[in-house]
Amino acid sequence: MSTTAFKNVIKSGPIEAPEPVDHYLSALDRMIAEIMWTRDRITAAIGNGSAPLALVKRIAKEYYYLGRWMTPDFATFIANAPDAFSLTMDYSEHYAHWCQNFADEAGYLRDPNHVSMKWEWCQQLGIGAEELESYTPLPETIAVTFTMLYYVRRSYEEGLAVFGFAGERLAARSGYAKTMYEGLKQHYGMTVKNFEVHAYAEPDHGDKAEALFRKVVTTASVQRRCREAIRNVMLVREARTKALNALLD
């Protein structure tokens, strides 16, 4: 094929302008609020001690599977970081941050392995390995987990959108970890390390995730892909909240 013929194959068009980042992030928050309108009754019930112990046991299993399935794929997210091939790790920002985050999740820094902490909570509730491994999570839990992992594998930007901006950041703002930690300690007589760790760690992680997200959503294409990723994950998260709430009825 000649050079001239090849040029005719490539169709050019107007370049779409990105939204200003502040405007784009504000629009994302409005979209999230419109989708995620159901109140999380489960966390509130455990926080005030009104959830029966049998339900607390089931919630512990749900938390365990979220961590068990998502944590190993964190490494894929790190590998996709745009500055993974910096001269040294000290020259990177995205790569260095998520490497440290993963080291924390995997138990190589100050806190225990995060999956192990969820398993420890199950043991505190009298849940053995056989019972846990034979448990089938809610379909909505499966949907949330693997929808997020789909985007983590697709691109760094979409992974950051669902795991960082619409994940750690929103989790920190909800205060769920502190509510769970205090409720379990006061009403169920157990100190759960998993929630103690997340109560103090997630605010910093959430702020950093937003700062990093701002640096990558600078083109119209990336903004469009990340908006769709967040929308789809929020839809299944909303469905999961409703499914979990129904366990109280």
With a CB cutoff of 8 Å and minimum separation 6, the contacts of 16 are 220, 221
pLDDT at 144: 96
pLDDT at 72: 87
End-to-end, the C-alpha distance of the chain in Å comes to: 67
Dihedral of the alpha carbons of 170, 199, 63, 174, in degrees to the nearest 10 = -30
- Residues 120-157 pLDDT 10s: 999 999 999 999 999 999 999 999 999 999 999 999 99
> Residue 106: helix, strand or coil by DSSP?
coil
With a CB cutoff of 8 Å and minimum separation 6, the contacts of 72 are none
CB-CB contact of 245 with 43 (8 Å): no
> Residue 128: helix, strand or coil by DSSP?
coil
CB-CB contact of 18 with 218 (8 Å): yes
pLDDT at 1: 47
| Residue from 226, 199, 196 nearest 210 by CA | 226
pLDDT along the chain (249 residues), means of 10: 53 77 97 96 97 98 95 88 84 89 84 92 97 98 96 95 91 90 97 89 77 95 97 97 96
pLDDT at 91: 82
DSSP 36-98: --S--HHHHHHHHT-S-HHHHHHHHHHHHHHHHHHGGGHHHHHHT-TTTTSSSGGG-SHHHHH
Look-up: residue for tokens 């910093």?
204
C-beta pairs of 183-190 under 8 Å, 24+ apart in sequence: 183/46, 183/47, 183/48, 183/49, 184/46, 184/56, 186/49, 187/46, 187/48, 187/49, 188/46, 188/49, 188/53, 188/56, 190/121, 190/124, 190/125
- Residues 27-48 pLDDT 10s: 999 999 999 999 999 999 999 9
Please determine, looking at this structure, whether the domain spanning 40-246 carries the CATH number 1.10.1740.10. no
